[in-house]
Amino acid sequence: MTGQTVETKESVGEFFRQVRETKGLTLDEVAIKTRIHPEYLKALEESNFAKLPEQVFAKGFVRSYARSLGLDEEDAMRRFTVSAGTFYDKHEERERLRQQQVEDERKRKANRKAVIAAAGVAVLGLVLLLTREQGSVSLMRPAEPAKPAREADRRGKTEIPPGEHAAKPQAPAPAVPAPAQSGKPASLPTSSTTSDPLAGLPFDGGASTEAGMVLVLEASELSWVVVQTDDASPHEALLRPGDRLTWKAQEKFALTIGNAGGIRGELNGKPLAPFGPKGRVVRDIVLTR
């Protein structure tokens, strides 16, 4: 009973390290047997769970490590739950809060877009209304081409020499409009404003559908990855050397990579810069257009 109590208080990493050293094995030898990167094995022995992948993959590492040392896998899992439970509980809470922040930000952006769209419709309606009002005013306003004609006629009469007034008929007199027609508007000029109230307004061609995003990840070494497309739930995957996976999104990708140096990426057919050195866990990588 006493020995069992000591074992349950002992961390899973310390337990693995002691058994490994007792068997005379190095981390590299265990890594070859388990096909787990030595950095992950070292992090597990040091209880440095922040350097391990997501919990589902870390549990797989624990089982593989226990199996390679000839230990009871279920006992190793109980030790892991006791040792890492607090860390992963806090990690899941942080992840939940981060997802909530992402959702809140998405809703705020959607609200802003709705307000901008409503304002644009209101401005367009106001411009259309003002354009129609201007067209109505131009139709109701009487044209006044007769005044210059009468004025020119009076000037013509005063310029005729007195001696020729009786001998020559006044040619300009017939050109003066009859009084009954002087109040009628002249023929209306053709206007693009009255015939087409929207003429001259800028056309917004930005409503076309934007092209999507395609992300390709290829593994040169064993690595786990977590990929979130747009605001969807994250997807986890374990890539072995030579594995190649493709994801599609509209706005962005959010990545977490367990072995940064073991993954190569392409975005829309273009190679991405290296994610980091081998064995390093890189989180919160955001790829946008």
Region 51-70: mean pLDDT is: 92
Is 8 in the same domain as 83?
yes
Per-residue pLDDT band at 135 (split at 50, 70, 90):
low
Whether 35 is in a domain gets the answer yes
Q: What is the per-residue pLDDT across 207-237, written as a single tens digit (0 to 9) for each?
A: 333 568 999 999 999 999 999 999 999 999 9
Range of the domain at 255: 213-288
Instruction: For residue 231, give the nearest of 101, 88, 78, 74 by alpha carbon.
Output: 101
| pTM (two decimals) | 0.34
Q: Which H or E run includes 74?
A: helix 73-140
Q: What is the per-residue pLDDT across 260-282, written as a single tens digit (0 to 9) for each?
A: 999 999 999 999 999 999 999 99
Whether 260 is in a domain gets the answer yes
Name the domain boundary from 72, 89, 106. 89
Is 217 in the same domain as 183?
no
| Coil vs helix vs strand at 120 | helix
Q: Which of 122-126, 238-242, 275-279 has the lowest mean pLDDT?
A: 122-126
CA atoms within 13 A on the CB side of 68: 23
Q: What is the per-residue pLDDT across 177-209, written as a single tens digit (0 to 9) for each?
A: 444 444 444 333 333 333 333 333 333 333 333
Is 235 in the same domain as 177?
no
Is 13 in the same domain as 78?
yes
Q: What is the CATH number of the domain that holds 78?
A: 1.10.260.40
Whether 200 is in a domain gets the answer no
Give the whole-angstrom CA distance, residue 6 versus residue 3: 5
Give the whole-angstrom CA distance, residue 289 versus residue 287: 7
Number of structural domains (the chain) is 3
Whether 109 is in a domain gets the answer no
Query: Is 258 in contact with 224 (CB distance < 8 Å)?
Result: yes
Long-range contact list for 68-77, CB < 8 A, 24+ apart? 68/30, 68/33, 68/34, 69/16, 69/19, 69/20, 69/23, 69/25, 69/30, 71/19, 76/12, 76/15, 76/16
**Comparison of pLDDT for 109 and 168, the residue scoring more:** 109
